[in-house]
Amino acid sequence: MRQINSRHLTIFLRSKESLYVSLKYVMMPNPSIQNEEQYEALREQGYSKEKSARIANTPDAGKKGGKASPYEEWTKEELYDQAKDVGIEGRSKMDKEELIEALRNN
């Protein structure tokens, strides 16, 4: 049996007369994912389903970033609000440096 892989399907050739096709992904995109291509790329890089979905569902998913100022220039309140938006637990007990580290490692 010979196996041919592509991004969305796997084809198993059993013989010249027999062909078995196994779909790796459902043909219809997941309606809860805004940027399916970015989601799949993140999953292939080893990101969890939850983190991949969170990244792919941001309003500017797939767009080049770099316009925000570094976290060190943010106020503690701004960092707290960002931590709240991304769901970091224990943020109310964190100081500014801890919030920055949590945001960078989330």
- Mean pLDDT over 30-58 rounds to 86
Q: Are 38 and 55 in contact (CB under 8 A)?
A: yes
Q: How confident is the model at residue 28 (pLDDT cuts 50, 70, 90)?
A: very low
* pLDDT higher at 80 or 47: 80
Chain segment 62-81, per-residue pLDDT in tens: 666 677 788 999 999 999 99
Please give the helix or strand (H or E) that residue 13 lies within, else none.
Answer: strand 9-13
What local confidence, expressed as pLDDT, does residue 34 receive?
83
- Mean pLDDT over 83-88 rounds to 93
Three-class DSSP category at 3: strand
What pTM was estimated for this model as a whole? 0.42
Instruction: Kindly report each contact of residues 6-11 with a partner whose C-beta sits within 8 Å and lies 24 or more positions away, as own/partner.
Output: 7/40
